[in-house]
Amino acid sequence: MAPTPPSPRPSAPAALEPPVALEPAMAANGIGSFDWDLRTDVIVGDARACRILGIDDPAEHPELPPLDSEGFLALLHAEDAPVVRDRVQRAVAELGQCGAYYRTVFADGEMHAVRFRARVLADQQGKPSHMVGFVWDATVELHKRVRADRLAMVREERTRFIKEAARALSEATTMQDVARVFTELPLPGIPPDGLILAVLDSGRIQILRSTGYRPEAPAPPDHVPLDSDHPAALALRTRTPVFLGSRREYQERFPAVWERVSDTTRSAWAFLPLVAGGRPIGVCVASFYEDRALDSEDRTLLSTLGGMVAQSLARARLHDAEHELAAGLQRVMLPRRVPPLPGFTSAVRYLPAGTGLQIGGDWYDVVPLPGGHVGLVIGDVQGHDVHAAGVMGQLRIALRAYAAEGHPPAAVMTRASRFLADLDTGHFATCLYAEVNVDYGAVYAVRAGHLDPLVCRADGSSAVQPVAGGLPLGIDPENSYPVTRFTLDPGEMLLLCTDGLVETRTVDIDEGMEQLRHAVGGRELQGPGALEALADRIADAAADSHERDDDIALLLLRWDGPAEARPRQLRRRIPQADLEQVAEVRGELRDAVRRWGVGELADTVELLTSELVTNALVHTDRDALLTARLYREGGPEGPARLRVEVDDESDLWPKRRTPGEQASSGRGLMLVEALADAWGVDPRGTGKRMWFELIHRQP
């Protein structure tokens, strides 16, 4: 049995006429119909379809050429035409359905949107002949889509803005940094014409920073009391934002303060309270030149921004308070100024650690000593925190007191070590103490675990000066410290510093000292501002280093030479239990009298001084204080009188004896009486003073 042949497909009608029953429904919904003859490429539509497509109705304009596929595609938006073409071609090839959404621009330039649905019909041979379908206006959807796209873009911009604002505010350290970041933020969608950040201080709202206000324009209100009828005060009291969309609204809601802002050119305001930890700390204000009714999303954005600013401001306020406390504590701990020193020029610098509270245990000090000499101190208490700073302050005062009492350098350092050990703080300290003689530039230095000093010579060279060292202070109260003596020539400089200047995470101390030596070598050291300029250069280089994590103390001292107009004097305290100091004092006194121009008296003064000092130390249980002075009688050409005094606290007076030939002692006062031009013993309330004088006459 032969197979049954397939039934023929329905052919396209000669003219597309919608059923009469569908016409009211199509008219009510604004739906038009069209017929596209695929064989002749002619598109025919009813009146509604023509209006929707934005073309002339052929029934009303028979003179116009019929619409073909290329003419139809030319009506479409350039981005939509390829999509429609592909879908039509696929439907024709498959004898199926197609639908599309496209945009078209009418003759008046207005953008419209159209949707259509169609089916391809085949002729009796099964080939595509017509595409028939419906078309309706989708411009409303287009507007909704445009608005949705715009809103999505705005939301994306605001999300990105919130992230950028959060990042910038998190990096703001001080209150001024927070104010700068806030007033420079570009708010998306609602760019304000003016921004103000104000803080609450002592019951008043004070402006911290503002932007967008011209100098010639009325200034925004400042120092507003919290209990006033002002929108900023209301926002803070209620902790609720205050939005004013027009000048009229401002005047109606706040008539008491309207007069103060009536001259401004602003027309809308947003007052956002800044609340952190449940406490109001300030307010930020956004203002606009035109009336602005902020919608819910705008208000949400501003409120979110206010919350972030509040948290950053609270953190920055705490940081500023801690920094001010640390800086104030450091200022109290360190000398407020270096006193003027005849014969010397000095410069000092202190740089706090780059992290934490920026406070530490490094210190410097310059101590005027009897006889015009000067004591230099540089030290570093372990750690760079408040505890270390407190220990440093106590140790600095104690060491300064020991030096000012006239104790020799070794005794100063020993007593300071014992003092720190008695404090029982758990901290140790490194220190270098140097006593510089103004008359002849001799330096007596002791070192307790600290860096050696650097000496810059007059010829431009520089070198590390080795100083014999001992244990850091506070470790062994009975530790003794050897003294190293070296000299400076006029115009030469002594540099003392702490390890923070020469040691970093990547540079060890030896390498750092070598770099410092090269940095100061060849620098100009003369002139009134040379040392200050050098100190600035060293401190600036250290401050710019990103690897520094310790505080720095720096002390520069230049010996300018003996001060001729000042009386010549040498004063030394000699510990009772340290007879070795007698030899050092004799040598120093010999150098002094030679420097003073009476070197012929050196042997005699050394002998007599040794007798008086030894007598005071052997026959008492206290320290002795030596003072030597040179006076000129009758002008520069007159005789010089050298007076040496030895003070002790014993009430026992010396007795002159007549020793036998074999006696090993008892001749001290006989030598003094025989060689001195004058001598004597004077009471001093507690103790006595033995003295002698030698006269030197010009040849």
Chain segment 331-384, per-residue pLDDT in tens: 666 776 777 888 888 999 988 775 555 567 888 999 988 777 899 999 998 876
Distances (CA, A) of 179 to 172, 319, 334: 9, 14, 32
- Is residue 114's pLDDT more than 90? no
Secondary-structure class of domain 20-137 per CATH? alpha beta
CATH 3.60.40.10 boundaries in the chain: 335-559
The single-letter code of the amino acid at 480 is: S
Q: List the single range of 138-142, 485-489, 585-589 with lowest mean pLDDT.
A: 138-142
Q: Please count the other Cβ atoms lying within 10 Å of the Cβ belonging to residue 399.
A: 27
pLDDT at position 336 is 67
Decide which of 233 and 108 is more confident.
233
SS3 of 287-351: EECCCCCCCHHHHHHHHHHHHHHHHHHHHHHHHHHHHHHHHHHHHHHCCCCCCCCCCEEEEEEEE
pLDDT at position 6 is 37
Terminal-residue alpha carbon distance, the chain: 164
pLDDT at position 507 is 83
- Is residue 454's pLDDT more than 70? yes
Which of 14-18, 231-235, 614-618, 650-654 has the highest mean predicted lDDT (pLDDT)?
A: 231-235
Q: Are strands 442-448 and 469-470 parallel, antiparallel or unpaired?
A: parallel
CA distance 46 to 54: 12
* 158-325: CATH superfamily: GAF domain (3.30.450.40)
Paired strand residues for 343:
none
Which CATH number, 3.50.50.60, 3.40.190.10, 3.40.50.300, 3.30.565.10, labels domain 568-696? 3.30.565.10
CATH 3.30.565.10 boundaries in the chain: 568-696
CATH 3.30.450.40 boundaries in the chain: 158-325
**Is there a contact between 627 and 570 (Cβ–Cβ < 8 Å)?**
yes
290 Cβ contact list (under 8 Å, min separation 6): 267, 268
Banded pLDDT at 243 (limits 50, 70, 90):
very high
User: Topology of domain 335-559, per CATH?
Assistant: Phosphatase 2c; domain 1 (3.60.40)
pLDDT at position 12 is 32
Which residue is associated with the tokens 């119909």?
Answer: 33
Return the closest-CA partner of residue 431 out of 481, 478, 488. 481
